[in-house]
Structure 1
Amino acid sequence: MDLQGELTAHPYSVYERLRDTAPVCRIAGTDGTPAWLVTRYDDVREALADPRLSLDKANAAEGTYRGLSLPPALDANLLNMDPPDHTRIRKFVGRAFTPRRIEKLRAPIRVTADRLLDALGPAGSTDLVGAYAAKLPMTVICDLLGVPEDRRLDFRVWTDALVVPDPSRPQAAKEAVGAMLVFFLELVAHKRSSPTDDLLSDLIAVRDGDGDRLSEDELLSLVFLILIAGYENTVQLIGNAIHALLQNPEQLALLREDPSRLPAAVEELARYEGPALLAIRRFAVEDLTIAGVTVPAGETVLLSLSAANRDPERFARPDVLDFDRDAAGHLALGHGIHYCLGAPLARAETEIALAALLERYPTLEPAGPAPRWRPSLRARGLEELPVRYAAERSTD
């Protein structure tokens, strides 16, 4: 199967066919090396929590798909770790995303959302991904870590180069990684000499303190992961949610009529059009069986979150956006010990972003041709989202 072609161009129709005919199938990764793709909800959910599927590349067999290659200083992150290292490092940042901490962030997030909408003005047209969905999470995560304003400009370019590689510029991803490593080294050095009240300063204090501390590579890798995941996933979650609402005006009308539906609506929007097509790749530490198919030890397993979330055996009429649905149990943000650490923050940002947007603009509609989805194997996001908006309801 042409993974980069068929799966990236028409993921949901391909997933539907695979769930019915080959729920665990052999595919070729973007670099031509093999992997196993799993598409049914029950299989994906079980595999996400299966300790026999490792994130540690040391368990990968020669010639199997390994995903993105990073320098050691950025590779010692949670997406490449199993317990006990995963448990040890995750606890250092867990306190940054507790319900109490997220609740305190809601007011500043709303201030940021309102400021971004102020910049759009009362009426006009814009790309809501570039002007809003991307800027809000970038501001939030950089504020949380204490990244100075003048260091944020290139970050979206770097993340785009990593998440959606440009085949015409094969060196772009490598250049982006190099630039990001320099950026993180300089940022950590600055915070080490001039600490402030932010998460990065706290992590440096852990790194430099006594006891069960972080190594320097673990510190850099953790900052890299928090910035990448905290930005990229939330951009897509917000952008995809706005697009889904515009394509489903009856559901949009329900939210306008009853904003108290927003928290549950965010769950359904995440199920319907989540930010990731695939979970991070995993490696079988022993021969194991998934849906009757034997996966040999060392081979790569790709778990499709999006396919699972549209499995009709788990969600009735899965291709329909329905705010009356109980979307609990969706896998858009993972499951098990590797469940997205920043999920509470991503949920809060999406809820607040939608609330501010819908309150500000009673008239909001698509503009121009249908937006293009980014050609990515793993990420599900829009290149742009052209809209027309007005602070007064249209009388047409």
Structure 2
Amino acid sequence: MTQPRQFPAAPLRLDDPHAFSDPASLWDRLLAEYPRGLAPVYLEEGVSGWLMLTPEVHRTVLNTPDVFAGEVRHWRDFNNGRIPATSPLRAIYTPRRNIWSVDGPEHERYRRALVASLTTMSERYVVGEIGAVADRIVDSFCADGAVDLVARYSGILPLLVLCRLFGMEEDEGLAVCTAMQRVWNYDEDAAHAHAQVQRYMDDLIARRRERAGQDLVSALIGHGLDDEEVRDNLTFLIAAAHEPVAQAIAQTIRLLLVRRNRYLQINSVRTIRETINASLWEAPPLHTLIGRFTTREVELGGFRLAAGDCLVLGFGPAQHAMRRDPRLDLETNRSYLIFGLGEHGCPERGRDLALTMAEKAVQRLDQRLPDMALADDTADDAPAAVIAGVHSLRVRYTPADPLQQGALWKPQSASTPTTSTATPPHGRSTLLGRLFGWIWRD
């Protein structure tokens, strides 16, 4: 029987990171309580939504864009004043001219441009850029004998690789990485830091307008996108790729070190590839993501939804439910949901880029520091509604010489907070801010 739109007295609050301290138990409870795959939740005080729990509900929603749209203009509470101007939700979901924020012909135009632009870069070129960035980062700590790999490696590598693919020079990439850290950590000058990044992007786009290169910016310009569209889609790529890939790298390294016993052949490409796959099943980088809005009244998951309701993608619970299938091979099956489905799903080329970045980052680290071992038996996890985060991963190893001599290259981490007097907004996790504050901060 379909139930009317209703909410329990104490629903799950997605803006409460403490609710996600034990995700597996949380998913078990929700799946038992809402077996038809949809749970009423609150996004923040007074703002309701529906958390999608099962792969079946995800397939229905993501493959029916005319009923479950991606454009925020369909979200009733975004337009009726229920979400105040001071809410992080309003800052996060303000429409932008990128592939995530639009539907229909405009979405298809952006998707074609991004896929074609990514396709212009050969796998050999991309792998070379990943290796070059990995070596420069490892050079900065290889002689130390111990390091926090989240702070000094996985947390910065994806962003710096993307900057290289955008066509930035090394000093520009470092500057962007440092500024991004201040944005994600809500430093007092975060707004200024964001403006700095925008200026770097605008300057780069202007240079490529004058003289094209073999990079993503030039490719997007070549496909007819204007300056604002190029910038908004590049910033979306950073948001979509950086933190999830950073967490996939960290989770994979941890899984390898724990299971290796102490250690199985980590430097086997097959072992690394299979472990990345298993880590994406066991600890998906994204728990939840606000993503669809009903265009009309509809029945779903045992409830009657009204037009303008907000649906939250539940990668964490859906993959948890899928893992119950004894036929699922976690090391080889790639049907996980974190890359999405349907017209808004991650293009195959983008998915391959993310997986290649994670694989080569882990492989190159082990080649440089082959006797890595966990410095202790635990890794600090940061509970959050969105990013399933490894906050730190401390390892020890035999000190090694850097490959390049000269001044040490030490970019600041984009994942580890620096000392700041700034106070994060109440109820908003640091990881949530790191994922979205960059793209949509005004």
**Pairwise same-fold verdict (TM > 0.5):** yes
* Structure 1 counterpart SS, 2:245: helix
**Deviation for aligned residue 1:156:** 4.2
Alignment of 1:57 with 2:79, yes or no, is no
Task: Write the distance in 2 (CA, Å) between the matches of 1:105 and 1:353.
Answer: 12
Pick closer, same or farther for the CA change 1:36–1:172 going to 2, 3 Å: farther
Task: Write the distance in 2 (CA, Å) between the matches of 1:315 and 1:100.
Answer: 38
Alignment of 1:300 with 2:315, yes or no, is no
Task: Write the distance in 2 (CA, Å) between the matches of 1:31 and 1:215.
Answer: 38
* Structure 1 counterpart SS, 2:288: coil
**Deviation for aligned residue 1:21:** 1.0
- Read off the aligned partner of 1:353 and give its amino acid letter: A
**Maintained 8 Å contact 1:287/1:297:** yes
**Deviation for aligned residue 1:374:** 3.7
Which residue of structure 1 aligns with residue 274 of structure 2? 264
Alignment of 1:13 with 2:30, yes or no, is no
- Read off the aligned partner of 2:150 and give its amino acid letter: V
Task: Write the distance in 1 (CA, Å) between the matches of 2:326 and 2:337.
Answer: 16
- Read off the aligned partner of 2:138 and give its amino acid letter: L
1:78 to 81, 89, 99: 99
Segments ≥4 residues shifted beyond 6 Å = none
**Maintained 8 Å contact 1:371/1:384:** yes
Which residue of structure 2 aligns with residue 102 of structure 1? 123
Which residue of structure 2 aligns with residue 360 of structure 1? 368
CA-to-aligned-CA distance 1:212-265 (integer Å, 9 cap, x gap): x32443222112112332322221221122123334346x74453854233333
**Maintained 8 Å contact 2:256/2:275:** no
Pick closer, same or farther for the CA change 1:383–1:202 going to 2, 3 Å: same
Pick closer, same or farther for the CA change 1:158–1:118 going to 2, 3 Å: closer
Alignment of 1:390 with 2:402, yes or no, is no
**Maintained 8 Å contact 2:13/2:44:** no
Which residue of structure 1 aligns with residue 337 of structure 2? 331
**Deviation for aligned residue 1:298:** 0.6
**Deviation for aligned residue 1:353:** 1.6
* Structure 2 counterpart SS, 1:214: coil
CA-to-aligned-CA distance 1:291-332 (integer Å, 9 cap, x gap): 2122221111001112211115654399xxx76x44331112
**Deviation for aligned residue 1:268:** 1.9
**Deviation for aligned residue 1:276:** 1.3
- Matched length: 376
Which residue of structure 1 aligns with residue 91 of structure 2? 69
- Read off the aligned partner of 2:254 and give its amino acid letter: H
What pairs with 1:203-352 in structure 2 (closer than 5 Å)?
203-206=220-223, 213-249=224-260, 253-256=263-266, 258-312=268-322, 315-316=325-326, 325-341=331-347, 342-352=350-360
Question: Any unmatched runs of 5+ in structure 1?
Answer: 207-212
- Read off the aligned partner of 1:128 and give its amino acid letter: L
**Deviation for aligned residue 1:37:** 0.7
Pick closer, same or farther for the CA change 1:326–1:199 going to 2, 3 Å: closer
CA-to-aligned-CA distance 1:175-227 (integer Å, 9 cap, x gap): 55444434433332233234332111222233xxxxxx324432221121123
**Deviation for aligned residue 1:389:** 2.1
Pick closer, same or farther for the CA change 1:364–1:375 going to 2, 3 Å: same
CA-to-aligned-CA distance 1:16-62 (integer Å, 9 cap, x gap): 21111124122111465211111122222332322121110111113
Task: Write the distance in 1 (CA, Å) between the matches of 2:293 and 2:93.
Answer: 20
Deviates more, 1:353-362 or 1:365-374: 365-374
Pick closer, same or farther for the CA change 1:191–1:378 going to 2, 3 Å: same
**Maintained 8 Å contact 1:271/1:306:** no
Question: Any unmatched runs of 5+ in structure 2?
Answer: 1-11, 401-442
Which residue of structure 1 aligns with residue 423 of structure 2? none
**Maintained 8 Å contact 1:365/1:389:** yes
1:144 to 158, 165, 186: 165
Which residue of structure 2 aligns with residue 191 of structure 1? 208
Task: Write the distance in 1 (CA, Å) between the matches of 2:214 and 2:120.
Answer: 19
- Read off the aligned partner of 2:60 and give its amino acid letter: E
2:55 to 41, 60, 65: 41
- Read off the aligned partner of 2:246 and give its amino acid letter: V
- Read off the aligned partner of 1:87 and give its amino acid letter: E
**Maintained 8 Å contact 1:284/1:300:** yes
Task: Write the distance in 2 (CA, Å) between the matches of 1:160 and 1:28.
Answer: 29
* Structure 1 counterpart SS, 2:390: coil
Pick closer, same or farther for the CA change 1:313–1:195 going to 2, 3 Å: closer
- Read off the aligned partner of 2:161 and give its amino acid letter: V
**Deviation for aligned residue 1:146:** 0.9
- Read off the aligned partner of 2:54 and give its amino acid letter: R
Task: Write the distance in 2 (CA, Å) between the matches of 1:158 and 1:79.
Answer: 23
- Read off the aligned partner of 2:148 and give its amino acid letter: D
* Structure 2 counterpart SS, 1:44: helix
TM-score normalised over the length of structure 2: 0.74
Task: Write the distance in 1 (CA, Å) between the matches of 2:190 and 2:20.
Answer: 19
The structure where helix makes up a greater share of residues is 1
* Structure 2 counterpart SS, 1:126: strand
1:201 to 215, 218, 222: 218
